[in-house]
Amino acid sequence: MIRFDHVTKLHKGATRPAVEDVTVDIERGEFVFLVGASGSGKSTFLRLLLREDRPTSGTVWVAGKDLNKLANWKVPALRRQIGCVFQDFRLLPNRTVAGNVAFALEVIGTPREEIKEIVANVLDLVGLTGKEDSYPNEISGGEQQRVAIARAFVNRPSILIADEPTGNLDPETSIGIMKLLDRINKIGTTVVMATHDVAIVDQMRKRVIEIENGHIVRDQARGVYGMGA
């Protein structure tokens, strides 16, 4: 599903590559934690996946496509296969819960009559039935993140990327979000989650890829957050 082949990314003006000679394979349907300190290269890794950045050398493969060879105009099609969730939710404050989710469908040209049903289904999946007409500032952080996940997943992407999705949430709410991500993973979605949350990583016992100074220092099935920590 995702394959990095000796990928190095040197940002313009930087003295040291953000990721260096990274080679990793993530299979379809896997759930992977990406751990590492701030500035370790996690964000660059995710940006390379989304083709927001292009590698300085090496090849990134996503969903069978070599991103180096992907034409600019095909990038939107790639991104439709990848859902994204962030620490800061990134909801539109002037749209309702249903409106925020529908927005993702509207802008890719889904017919209006289909949108309503699709949105209702995905809101049911994330457990927000009944909140459709609330605005983001009227609901809790955990609920906002569920809206964001619904928006990322409404198009049924094959990959879901989550960048510190629990970073702004208390532990209890975080568990709810993790259960939701786990459920989305069980439907067959590949989930890549960058996180600092030790408790969650240790509890979930999924594959852990640890990045340090741009290198993969650990890749462990059913791992925990820190080896010796």
Partner 1 sequence: MRFGYIIKEVSTGLRRNLTLSLAVIITVAVSLSLFGSALLINAQVNTMKDYWFDRVEVSIFLCGNISDSPNCADGAISEEEKGQIRSDLQGMTDIVDTVFYESKEQALARFKDQFKNSPIADTATADQMPESFRVKLVDPTQFAVIEGAFGLRPGVEQVIDQRQTLQKLFDALGGLQKLAQAVAGVMILVTILLISNTMRVAAYNRRRETGIMRLVGASNFTIQLPFLLEAAVAATIGSLVAIGALVVGKIYLIDQTLATSFTFTTFIGWDAIYAIVPVMLGAGVGLAVLAAGLTLRKYLKV
Binding residues (CB under 8 A) for partner 1: these are 50, 72-73, 75-81, 84, 90, 92, 103-104, 106-109, 112, 151-152, 155
Which residue number, 99 or 214, has a Cβ lying nearer to partner 1?
99
Which residue number, 123 or 204, has a Cβ lying nearer to partner 1?
123
CB–CB of 53/47 below 8 Å?
A: yes
Give alpha helix (H) positions in the chain: 42-49, 75-79, 97-106, 112-125, 141-153, 171-186, 198-204
Helices 97-106/141-153 angle, 10° precision: 20
| Strand-pair category, 207-212 with 190-195 | unpaired
Query: How many angstroms separate the CA atoms of 116 and 147, rounded?
Result: 15
Q: Which of 120, 108, 170 is nearest to 145 (CA)?
A: 170
CA torsion 78→153→30→199, rounded to 10°? Answer: 130
Closest distance between partner 1 and the C-beta of residue 85, in Å?
10
Which residue number, 46 or 128, has a Cβ lying nearer to partner 1?
46
Laid out side by side, the sheet with 82-86 consists of 82-86, 159-163, 190-195, 31-35, 207-212, 215-220
Which residue number, 52 or 212, has a Cβ lying nearer to partner 1?
52
Closest distance between partner 1 and the C-beta of residue 30, in Å?
22
Which residue number, 46 or 200, has a Cβ lying nearer to partner 1?
46
Which residue number, 154 or 208, has a Cβ lying nearer to partner 1?
154
| Strand-pair category, 31-35 with 190-195 | parallel
CB–CB of 42/96 below 8 Å?
A: no
Closest distance between partner 1 and the C-beta of residue 82, in Å?
8
Closest distance between partner 1 and the C-beta of residue 191, in Å?
16
Closest distance between partner 1 and the C-beta of residue 75, in Å?
5
Closest distance between partner 1 and the C-beta of residue 209, in Å?
22
